[in-house]
Structure 1
Amino acid sequence: MAPTAAVRDRIERLCRSATDPLTLYRDVVPVLGRAVPSDLWCGLLLDPATVLNTGGYHDEGLPLEVLPRLLELEVGADDVNQLPALARDRSGVGTIHRRTRGRPELSARYRDVMLPAGMGPELRAVLRNRGRPWGAVVFFRETGAPDFTDAELEFVAAVAPDIAAAVRRTLLVSEITHRDVEEGPGMAVLRVDGLRIDVELASRAARALMEAMPDSRIDGVPVGVVMLVSRLVAAGGRRQSARVRLRTGRWMSVQLDVLQPAGQEGCERLSLVIEPVAPYELAEVIAEAYGLTAREREVARLVVAGNRNPEVAAALSISLTTVQDHLKKVFAKLGVGSRYELTARMFFDQYLPRQLSRQPVGGDGWYLPARLPR
């Protein structure tokens, strides 16, 4: 086994140089495996607001035939070591064996997914940066293998912050680098019959957008969409939505609702709408990615809405000096030097072509509307 110091050093260097989250997982996790051996693994991307799995790297993970049951348990059952609970846990790292005190058979995931796939021990780690979950890594060992040791859990917990920061940063980098190439919104009708989901009707845009989702497929449907369907079923048919990042780096809003309840034929039809996340909706994600505090986000929101410093001070009941201090920190974190650049970075850099959003006009050198939605 490689010395843990050398493994950690290599992971840190890979994290610093990464520019894409899926490539990050593909490069980093095998290195981590030198210190924490496993037989299968996967890297997940999480929506920091909902902790919902929005895609990831699954090429080295569980076989596709067990994924429908896995997704059903993830959103519709109170099982052991689930991601939302881990996201609230102090360490953010755990195994099924430890959480069940050595009785993994108490976990439905262990009984219905792990054993049929030939797996036994499972280690999960939520990747948190500034308190928010941006991803997760899951390691599996074959049936009969020993559980992950305390030292292995501690090592994963130690490197998790570096990987989490890289995931957050690469999500942001890819969002800025890739520009709008998809058309939307996309609309589709899904036919759900038990655990089987079929795309019955779909617009050209919907098919293209689903194809661009960075995930494995179950009968041609992205795992992220399958998971959202499972979540809707578990919620008794209540409308569900999530943010999903495409392979291009573009963030989309996925909305699912019941179109036709189950009838005599035993299946129901759901409406699926995929559309670009509006600039002001994505601003919160961008602010989180850049590590702005709650107060800094408030200041930034008021500034990009066109308010001057005295107006920001009055709105937040703070001094003008405090506003200036917060704004200076916001500028430093986002790497900008003016209000116009701040607005472009938080909104228009994500949507307008580079040649437009950074076309110099006038003294400030930025072409931007005067005001944005609050």
Structure 2
Amino acid sequence: MSLKRHFANNLARAFTKLMGGEASAGILLIIVTALALTAANSPLAHDYHYLFHHELSWTPIAKLDSLHMWINDALMAIFFFVVGLEIKREILDGELSSAAKRRLPVLAAAAGMIAPALIYLAAAGSGQPMQRGWAIPAATDIAFAVGVLGLLGNRIPPSLRLFLLTVAIVDDLGAVVIIALFYTAQIKMMWGVGALILLAGLILANRRGVHHLWVYMLLGLGLWYCVLNTGIHATIAGVVLAFTIPLKPLYRGDSMLLRLEHALVPWNSYVIVPLFGFANAGVALSGIGLDGLLDPVPFGVALGLFIGKQIGIFAAIVIADRLGFAPRPAGASWVQLWGMAVLCGIGFTMSLFIGALAFPKYPLLIEEAKLGVLVGSLFSALLGYTILRFAKSPSPGAA
């Protein structure tokens, strides 16, 4: 009995330590993904889909007539708001605040978006509607990737983790631009004018040094509602609002941006993203089957994430270092940099989100895109972890 208790206590302590570290958000995403897949391929499948997709008997906003719409258009606006806060902080006072710091992460992120898109188009073909999925494998999921790094502990140098985070943040900015430019329906001008007026009010509040949170939240809510009705995806309003939040320190030494970011990151990591994952990762394999992975869309997405990401990012680092354009992260070996590039092929949240935008009229293609995202991300996580688990840091003075 004492042996069992001792084992149980050790297991509980290990689990608590694990969930208290930076790996916890990634582990939670793995759990909700498994639950979604299980629900979608079990006797609960009808209840699962009904929960998220049935028309609500009442909704305060007519366009959001299902729980799935509320999650993807409203809650995910908060997700994008936090992403925007992180991007602004990094650009003004972080790893993207100078040209020297920006060079390598921006180059690596750009190559890590272009290569997967090209591989997707080569695998899936350029015909309609398949070609609309070209951006699905372009984004890296920060929570999953950092979660895998957290499992590795001190086996990886701090510079590698910081570089991955920076690349992923630039990657997110690129995904936001792609959504705004390529996945926007016809814009309704009157709502667009309203959005511009509210944006002007937010910018004016920032320039005038207004530090009342309610002003930004009230104008931001109006901005989100206008954008929701323009035809531009409503989540873009979250990023735009974030860029107007003041970073200038208050008399207490902190700032509105930092306070909001610190307050919302846990909600993002442990509520919004897992809820989005559970609502969107449930792929009904009975309609596709694992052999369906060879269909153009899932094959292109999986190949883009698993092959395209590592080729684009690693090649960019090697070329930039060899040409003297930007040095590789200090203290990281080439094998470790390769493992980090492979991990960037984990494309869960943004990839699922873009997949839903790419094929709004083709439910089967959305499901196939989900399958490609899950398979490509799984292979990237397993290979990336294996490489980093056994890679050695360079010896001092090694080139």
Q: TM class, shorter-chain normalised?
A: under 0.3
TM-score, normalised to structure 1, is 0.25
* More helix as a share of residues: 2
Q: TM-score by structure 2 length?
A: 0.24
More strand by share: 1
